[in-house]
Structure formats: structure tokens, C-alpha cells
Amino acid sequence: MEERLNAMEEYLKNEKQIFIKYEDKIDSTSFCKLQDMMNTYQKTKVKECFERSDIHGITFLVEYPCVICKNTKTERLSKTQLFELLERKHIQLCDECLNKQREEEKEKARKLEEINRELAKENEDEFFNEWLNPDYSLTKEAIKNPYNARNDIYNSMWFIDQAKIKDYVNNQMTYKQYLSTPYWQLVSMLAKRKAKYKCQLCGSNENLNTHHRSYKHKGFEIRHMEDLIVLCQDCHSKFHEVV
């Protein structure tokens, strides 16, 4: 036992040995060797072989190869920064390659933005030219799958200028035209489905109409289905007499 304890003590004593000091310059070859060591041995053990200073701002002078062009870059790094590089948490790039990469990322972001803008424009065109076109009728696809159609409209409406929609439905067409747009046909169909194809006053299932209780959200009924009520022809005319 004693023998083993002595060996243990020896091990503990040796473990804290400092091999790399702050005044050392870590050249490119050494950097790569250290990186290999990080893969082969316990990372914490490797870390313990480096001098550790409690003084803030003390740095190692490090030279390392750029992973892209292999040119070396020299900079002063804190122990934490150095180990982030050694552990490959940060990609080792020279300034030139770093700038190039940043430019490429910016370019990618710019292209993505452009694609998104085009997509939004397409959505908008489709909304005005098809959904709000009184000469169009609801597609078979939308009749078959009204909830998909509803979701498509609902989502694309968020990306369209609200004032533009308001102006379009209020000033660019008559109310009668509005009622014949595929948009309104879909909204009306959804309202009737929700009412289980029954008049919400008398329960009749004949000649159903979707009536606006309020025009406050005209053009946006799909977001305000509570503004609508489904009525049979008789109740509908009574409703309009009273109001």
C-alpha cells in the first residue's frame, strides 16, 4: 500500500508540471503538435501543462496555420482563446480567409433575402390577382381542401401590406364583386362548414347565406370569423329589415 501511495504522490506532484510558459512563443509546428495531443490525451491534463496566470490580459504569442490557405497567422491569445483554437471550437483562419468567409456569408444572406422578397411578392400577386379577383372562382383544389387553402391565405396575408388589402376591397371593387371573389367564397364556405350547414337562427338548411355582422374586418374575415353569421334566406332578409 505504502508503495502505491508513494507512486500516487509522485504522479500527483508531476501532474501539475508546467511545460508551456507565457513567455514562450508557440510556433505553427508546436501548435499542430499540441492539437494532436488534445486529441490523444485528456484535454484537462494537457491544459494543466500550461502556465496559468491570474493576472487579466496575460497572453500567449501563438502562430497557427490557416485551415484554408495554410498561411500562418500570429496573434496574442489568452489561455481560454488558445484552447478554443486547440479544441477546434473556433475555426483557424487567417485574416484574409476570415474576411472572404464573412463576405460569402453576407452574400448568402443577401441572396436569401432577395429570394424571400420575391416569394413575398409572388404571394402578394397571387392574393390580389387570384384570390381577390371577382372573375375567378374557387379552384377545385380549394373546394376539396378548404382548410389548406385557408392556411395558405392566412399565412400569406401576414406578409402583405394591410392598408393595400383594405384599399383594394373597399375602393377597387363593388361589394357585389367582392362577394364573388374566391377569397369571399372560401370564407363563406368555411363559415357554413363551421355552422354545420344550418341557419344559426332557425336551424334551417336551405338557401344559406353568410352574413356580415360587422364590416370592421372586411378583407380580413378569415382572421375574424366571429364577425360572420350563417343565415337562411328568410332569416337573412328579416335580419336586414331589423337592422
Which residues lie near Zn ion (CB under 5 A)? 66, 68-69, 94, 97, 199, 201-202, 204, 211, 232, 235
Nearer to Zn ion, 189 or 201 (CB): 201
Helix (H, G, I), strand (E, B) or coil at 231: strand
Pairing of strands 72-77, 228-232: unpaired
How far is 109 from 116, CA to CA, in rounded Å? Answer: 10
Among candidate residues 155, 145, 130, 129, the one with its CA nearest the CA of residue 222:
155
Of 206, 162, 210, whose CA–CA distance to 185 is shortest?
210
- Closest to Zn ion by CB, 93 vs 138, is 93
Question: Closest approach of Cβ 205 to Zn ion, in Å?
Answer: 9
CB of 197 to Zn ion, least distance (A): 12
Question: What stretches of the chain show up as alpha helix (H) in DSSP?
Answer: 2-15, 28-40, 43-48, 79-86, 95-126, 140-144, 146-157, 162-171, 175-179, 182-194, 233-242
Q: How far is the CB of 70 from Zn ion (least distance, A)?
A: 7
Q: Given the complex with Zn ion, which of 167 and 226 has the nearer CB atom?
A: 226
Nearer to Zn ion, 1 or 243 (CB): 243
**Shortest gap between Cβ of 105 and Zn ion (angstroms)?**
16
